[in-house]
Amino acid sequence: MPYDASNVFAKILRGELPCVRVYEDEHTLAFMDIMPSADGHTLVIPKAPAKEIFDLSADGAACLIRATQKVAKAVKKGLNCSGIMLVQLNGAGAGQSIPHVHFHILPREEGLDLHLHGRAMRAPEDLEPLAAKIRAAL
């Protein structure tokens, strides 16, 4: 099945939908998840149209993992959490809900109950203070 340019992340990349930006470079964009499963839940996406990690070029995958590593370090430092969980799902069978490849960066602490996808939407004004801490740590 071809890439669906009407997916939410494609609309964010085109500026048709808002997001709370954390980091951006020539190849990637990182922003706060509006349905976070933990405070500080951040997403990193490639700007290239790709449904799954298998659809990215080797260079595109390298750019995505470099940005993910950079932002994950900032999440850990900026939010002072003891751990970081990285999640990357491919296909509906794996639980991927948006058909544009992405990494979830999830701040973790021992004993924290975690659902992979959040259950409630958060307002941008609630996410911005967390995003500011992460940006400051970049």
CATH number at residue 12: 3.30.428.10
Rounded-to-integer distance, Cα 4 and Cα 19, Å: 20
- pTM score of the predicted model: 0.90
Active site residue 115: no
Q: Give pLDDT, residue 121.
A: 86
Instruction: For residue range 5-34, list pLDDT tens digits in order.
Output: 999 999 999 999 999 999 999 999 999 999
User: Is 124 inside any structural domain?
Assistant: yes
Catalytic residue selected from 41, 100, 102, 104: 102
Sign of CA dihedral 119, 94, 74, 83: positive
pLDDT digits (tens, 9 = 90+) for 29-55: 999 999 998 999 999 999 999 999 999
Q: What is the distance of C-alpha 34 from the center of its chain?
A: 10
Residue 3 lies inside a defined structural domain of this protein: no
DSSP single-letter state for residue 53: G
Residue-wise pLDDT tens digits, 52-92: 999 999 999 999 999 999 999 999 999 999 999 999 999 99
**Residue 7 DSSP SS3:** coil
Structure confidence at residue 113 (pLDDT): 66
Would you state the structure tokens that stand for residue 119, as one six-digit string?
């259950």
In a domain, 108, yes or no: yes
Q: How many domains are contained in the chain?
A: 1
Share of the chain above pLDDT 70, in %: 94
75 part of a folded domain? yes
Q: Per-residue pLDDT tens for 78-137? A: 999 999 999 999 999 999 999 999 999 999 987 766 666 666 888 999 999 999 999 999
Domain that holds residue 27: 8-137
pLDDT at 115: 62
114 touches 3 (CB < 8 A): no
How far apart CA 125 and CA 131 sit, in angstroms, is: 10
In a domain, 2, yes or no: no
